[in-house]
Each structure stands twice: as structure tokens, then as C-alpha cells.
A and B are shown apart, each in its own frame.
Chain A
Amino acid sequence: MEEIWNGILRAVELIVTLNPEVMEITARSLFISFTAATLAAAIDIPLGGLIELREFRGKRALVDLIQTLYGLPTVTVGLLVFLLLSRSGPFGSLELLYTPTGMVIGQMILISPILIGLTISALRGVSPHIRDTAISLGANESQVIRTIIKEARFAVVAAVLIGFGRALSEVGVAMMIGGNIRDYTRVLTTSIALQTSMGNLETSMALGIILIGISMILNLSLSRFQGR
């Protein structure tokens, strides 16, 4: 119990004194996950719109598959991206393994099913009369998709926040693709795992508190959006 208490005190000290290493790891985590969430949103939101608004054979099976992939194990994604980016893999020549860019790609793949699936759910909540009205007023397909996404903007933003939270808190992709290299690819989750295995519980707890703090801010933002 004393160890935990000391850990909390040390955590507070590291945070209050803005410990450079802790701040750097935090900033890197936020940057990588924010980039992954933003890029994934730019691709997945219009893709979700297309899937929802177009009728095609196998649509239901595709949506079911996307929803099944919500809980995609992060280590599985890590392994897949590792195989793709490793020297002998199809994208090995790009030398993205053990780089922040590789981590961004991995996190994008990890959160894409969530973003696409939640976008589809969000758009289903928009009245079909909105779609008819937009089409009737002369909107083309991309204008209709933009209009409907705009109508469902709070739910879509919530989907992006959920995706960002998942990217920030995952450890499998970050560890397998980033390699936990100090000052380069080390992020909050991989650092917590490392510090714990090394017995540095205070640092580990400080990083954990920061991670929980960010998650809380995200959840508060989410509640605010969903309440609107």
C-alpha cells in the first residue's frame, strides 16, 4: 500500500514539475494518435457515408464485418502491419517499421472499423427526408454525403473521439510497430509497460495518471457532444 502511495506522490511530482521526459512522451503519444485519428477520419467518414448511402450486394454482410472488427485485437493489427512493413514485406522498402509514421499507419488500421461503423450508425440516425430534400434541391452524391454528415456531425465527432481514445490507449501496435525506442517512438502505453517491467512504479503511475486524465477529458468532451 505504501508503494502505491509513494507512487502517487511521485506521479504528482513528475506531473507538477513538468518532467521533460514525461512531457515528451505525452506529447508524442498525443501527436501520433491525433494524426492517426485525423487521417483515419478523413478517409473513413466519407467511406462510411458511401457505404450507408449506396445500395449494393453484400452491404449488410460488409456492415456486420465492420462491426465485428470493432474489437480487433491490437496485437493482431500490430502483427499484420509488422508483416507488411518488415524488410521482407510488400512495403519493406519504405522503411516505416519502428518509426512514428509506421505507428500512425497501424493505429489508423486499428481504429478504421470503429470510425466507419460509427459513421454508418450516425448517418442512419438522420431522417431519410433530409437525403431526399438534398437530392431534390439538386445535390450530387458527394454533396448529399457532405450534407448528411453535417446533419449527423455531433455523432460523427463522437466517433472520431472514440477512435482517438482507442488509438491513444492501445499498446500492441505501438510496441510491435514502434519498437518503444527512447526519444523516438516511445509513447505513454509502451512506456508504462516498460517502466512497470523495470520496477519503476512511480514513473509508471505518473504516466498512467496522465493517460487516465486524457481519457477523462476525452470522455467529458464526448458526453458534451452527445448531449447536444
Chain B
Amino acid sequence: MAFLEIRNLRKSYGRAQILKEINLSVEKGEILGLIGPTGSGKSTLLRLIDLLEEPSRGAIILEGRAVSGRPEKERIAARRRMAMVFQKPVMFKSNVLDNVTFGLMVRGEGQAEEREEKARAALQAVGLSGYESRDANTLSGGEMQRIALARAIVLEPELLLLDEPTANLDPRSASAIDSLLQGLAGGRTAVILATHNMMQCRRLADRVAVLVEGKITALGESEAVLGQEERNGTSGWKVPGSDLPW
């Protein structure tokens, strides 16, 4: 039984079908790369897995139990086993420490001191030690992205959903984040990494799913899916099963 299973998932907005019959599974300790062009439905799929939206059809199954379409109380319980980093993270109007401890606080985990200690460790992991008292909304896009990642990893989630987590980062910061994610491999966390960056996907992901126009067109070991197709980074690369280059 897979830790996360996505079965026959469909999502439509009006007549527009964004996701079509998605079937995926992820194990704990595994990093699944989700790669595809802009508008292919990667972010929507992550939002559905995070239970921020309901699928039009199909199911999200966590350790054998359907969590989509369930009452809000059960959805909250399931969501508290996950954490998501959005493509364009937003910060609460407060300092960095409050932002990083937010998830721990709403989940009722530990005392204030314990939460702060965990938050400091998470900030250190993303290279932002000493930022605790800074106003989170005055930081650069890249710094906010790292705060968002710290806000997620501090929760020690069983499932980590990452939507382009290094898109706004300079190469050095991106590399630090990659190392952090590599550290999660083989542990108790399952990671789904949505990205445009094939190099990153190849470097981090155990398996890759290619999403084109809402459909999974290829799924398998990273090397098998990406290895033969990759040429000079993302430029000119063609998705298996699609004519779309990106």
C-alpha cells in the first residue's frame, strides 16, 4: 500500500478540464518529480493533494484511506500530515519567527519555547539564521521562498508538496535547498516536487511524472524518463508523448 495514492483524479473548472484521469502513487522517503509546461496542471494537482480544493472526480488516498471528499474535520487532520510550499509564497504580517512557528501553533504542537527552537533550526537549515525578528514582508522574493520552505519543513510533514520551490532563488540558494531536499530522501517524508527545472528534477527525484495538458504522459525512474530527452538544460527539450518543448 502506497503512502499516497491518487486514483482517477479529474478536475474541471466549468467546461475547462484541467486534470484528466491522474493516477499516481508516492512512497515515504521518495521524491517524485512532477514536470510539465506552464498551465499543464501541476499547481492544481498539488492543491488537490493538499485538500485545498475538491476533485471533480477520483480520490486522494492517504495510507489506504480516502481523504478527499471527507468532512472538514477529517480533511484538516489529513492536511496536518502534509505541508506545501507555494510557487509564490505569501508571508503573514509579522516577523519571520511568527511566520515559521505558525503551522506548529495552529497544530497545537509544543510550548512556545519549543516551537521557537524548532523554527530557529528550520531557519538555519534554509540559511536564514538571524532573520527571526525581521519583518517577513520586507524580505526579497528568494528569502520569502526560503522562509516558506522553513515554514513547511519545521512541521516535519509526512508529505511535502513543493511548487517550484527554487524558482525565485539564486543558484547558490537553490543549491542549498536542493541539498536540504536530498537530506529528506529515504526518510519519513514523501516529497512531490513540481518544477520546470529538469536538471533539478533529475538530480533530486527518484521518479518523474510528466504532466502535459492535464494528463500524465510519462511516469517512471528519473533517468529513464528524462535521461534521453534532456539537452542543454530545459531549452529545446521535448516532453515524452508531447510535441511541446519548454
Q: Are B106 and A127 in contact (CB under 8 A)?
A: no
Q: Are A141 and B92 in contact (CB under 8 A)?
A: no
One of B10-18, B80-88, B183-191, B218-226 at the interface: B80-88
Q: Are A141 and B84 in contact (CB under 8 A)?
A: no
Which size class do B's interface residues fall under? Answer: 20 to 34
Q: Are B90 and A130 in contact (CB under 8 A)?
A: yes
A138 with B90, Cβ < 8 A, contacts A132-B52, A143-B106 known: no
B151 at the interface (CB under 8 A from A): yes
Task: Give which listed residue, A129, A141, A147, A153, contacts B88 with CB less than 8 A.
Answer: A129
A-B pair count, CB < 8 Å, reads: 52
Q: Are A134 and B106 in contact (CB under 8 A)?
A: yes
B167 at the interface (CB under 8 A from A): no
Q: Are B86 and A137 in contact (CB under 8 A)?
A: no
**Residues of chain A lying within 8 A (CB to CB) of residue B155:** 137-138
**Residues of chain B lying within 8 A (CB to CB) of residue A139:** 106
Q: Are A147 and B50 in contact (CB under 8 A)?
A: no
Q: Are B79 and A133 in contact (CB under 8 A)?
A: no
A24 at the interface (CB under 8 A from B): no
Q: Are B72 and A138 in contact (CB under 8 A)?
A: no
Task: Give which listed residue, B72, B83, B88, contacts A137 with CB less than 8 A.
Answer: B83
**Residues of chain A lying within 8 A (CB to CB) of residue B82:** 136
Q: Are A137 and B93 in contact (CB under 8 A)?
A: no
A contacts with B: majority SS: helix
A135 at the interface (CB under 8 A from B): yes
Interface residues of B in 40-69 (CB under 8 A from A): 47, 50, 52
A150 at the interface (CB under 8 A from B): yes
Q: Are B50 and A136 in contact (CB under 8 A)?
A: yes
Q: Are B92 and A130 in contact (CB under 8 A)?
A: yes
Interface residues of A in 113-145 (CB under 8 A from B): 127, 129-130, 132-141, 143
Interface residues of A in 133-176 (CB under 8 A from B): 133-141, 143, 147, 150-151, 153
B141 at the interface (CB under 8 A from A): no
Q: Are A136 and B80 in contact (CB under 8 A)?
A: no
Q: Are A137 and B90 in contact (CB under 8 A)?
A: no
- Least Cβ–Cβ distance between A228 and chain B, in angstroms: 10
Q: How many residues does chain A have at the interface if contact means C-beta atoms less than 8 Å apart?
A: 18
- Least Cβ–Cβ distance between B221 and chain A, in angstroms: 30
A134 with B102, Cβ < 8 A, contacts A141-B72, A147-B92, A150-B93 known: yes
B89 at the interface (CB under 8 A from A): yes
- Least Cβ–Cβ distance between B141 and chain A, in angstroms: 14
Residue of A nearest to B79 (CB): A138
Q: Are B90 and A129 in contact (CB under 8 A)?
A: yes
Q: Are B76 and A137 in contact (CB under 8 A)?
A: no
Residue of B nearest to A140 (CB): B76
- Among B80, B86, B90, B103, find the residue whose CB has the most chain A CB atoms closer than 10 A: B90
Residues of A at under 8 Å CB distance from B? 127, 129-130, 132-141, 143, 147, 150-151, 153
If A127-B90, A151-B93 are given as contacts, then 14 extra A-B residue pairs at C-beta distance below 8 Å, sorted by A number, are A130-B90, A132-B86, A133-B86, A134-B92, A134-B102, A137-B83, A137-B103, A137-B107, A138-B80, A138-B103, A138-B107, A141-B72, A143-B106, A153-B93
10 A–B contact pairs at CB < 8 A?
A: A129-B88, A130-B92, A132-B52, A133-B90, A136-B52, A136-B79, A138-B80, A138-B155, A140-B72, A147-B92
Ordered nearest first, which 5 A-B pairs have the shortest CB separation? A137-B103, A138-B80, A129-B90, A139-B106, A138-B107
